[in-house]
Chains A and B, each alone.
Chain A
Amino acid sequence: MATVALPIKKPSIFTPGFLAWLAFVGLCLVIGLVSAVDVLSNGLTVTNMSNTIPWGLWITIDLSSIALGAGAFTLSAIVYLLKLKNFQSIVRLAVFVGFVGYTAALLTLIMDIGRPDRFWHPWVYWNVHSVLWEITWCITLYLAIMLLEFLPVITDLPFFARWPGLRKFTHSLHKAAPLFALLGLGISLLHQSSLGATYGILRSRPIWFKPSMPIMFIVSAVAVGPALTVAIAHIAEWVRGRPTVAHDILRTIARFSGFGLLLYAYIKLWDLLAVSYYGRSPQVNQAFAVLNEQTPYGFGFWVVEIIIGILIPAIFFLTPRFNRRPAFLVAGALAAVIGIVANRWNVTVSGLTVPLSYSPGVDYQSVAGTYWPSLTEWGIAVGIIGYGLLLLTLGLRFLPLFDHSEHTEAKRS
């Protein structure tokens, strides 16, 4: 539609491959829309969530996409606060990926709450003691900051050439980039860790209640978010056939992610030893017994979270043999993403599977829950993925994400 109105320099962008890709993305979106209609009209009864396991796949998506959006604040802070200007060329992409991740999380959240019509309540009715209230505020504020950071990129589109005043205004906003980076860093440090605290503060849940929860959440997010940005930069380069970001920059960021993953592994190891081995309480023991009996908890933890999610990407990112080859960086980033998603799933569903015990007797405890997402829940997940892919496709196709306008701007002024 809009493409007809735009002066198309190269009509050949609609290659059969690109059309097929758009058809695939469109299919994902249709599946998502159908599922969303189902959820909104019939309520959450169409999900397989229950009073025993009230959170499931959608919370996993929320947590994962926010963690994967962490490249935005990390790389903004590196460029505008640590003043490492070399990395300037990836900031636009990182903020864009962050924006996609955060909006995807909000869309899923709208599906997940029982009363979507009351989504605005946390902004009006405050409970300052609630980490979820703080998270809602931080996510909204940070989304606004990312929009402000990103406005100059949008107004750089040819479409906005007709309003030079607007363009000038948004570029003057860019002078506040260090302030945005500082605010973004502070707010992200808050909510990325509070997402872990959501679980970590619950006294009655034996495998959640530990101070390491927020730390593991934020370290993993800071490690994997930038790696995803690197992977997207490489994939964009393959698809577009034009260079995006210098490869040595991408490799340096991948190495940063590799060290981040090692730090994550280190904290995870001590968490395992301190909480689950040396500091185990009868409740923790019983919880792991139930989990290992009823779910593939050990496999999920050791194989998916540790080996696929941490060790393989760390090797790919850190050893020169692999990190000079983009294909391995992309593969490593995808493995790390799988690890993050598996971790968020394991945390959420495993913690809820463990039955509560509160009777003064010895036998009674609430039943251990079982959960596997329903078709509609998967449909929403597919739709969210379609949304992310659509935004990334459009952004990489039409937005000047890799124009190094810093230089042109400098010349202009």
Chain B
Amino acid sequence: MSIQLTNIYAIALHHRFQWEEAQNCYVILFPEGMVKLNGGAGEVLNLVDGKRTVTDIVTELKAKFPDAPDLDQDIIGMLELAIEKAWLRQIN
């Protein structure tokens, strides 16, 4: 699976992404299941909005976490996982 930097993704149909105060994390909810996202994963998916490109997401997160090493790879890795899990759909 190859992710192009110009790709734009949105949360998949029938899935809901939301912040959970009680769990102190982002979650993805879908029929018959849910996943709690750790901090980094939540930050990435929080920017997946059907408008930003992968480049936009990387740029924003780099600005937010300037000291994090290998951020590009982590973000791409997270997006790959999310696509494999069918949490995301590509819209362009």
Co-complex (A, B) = no
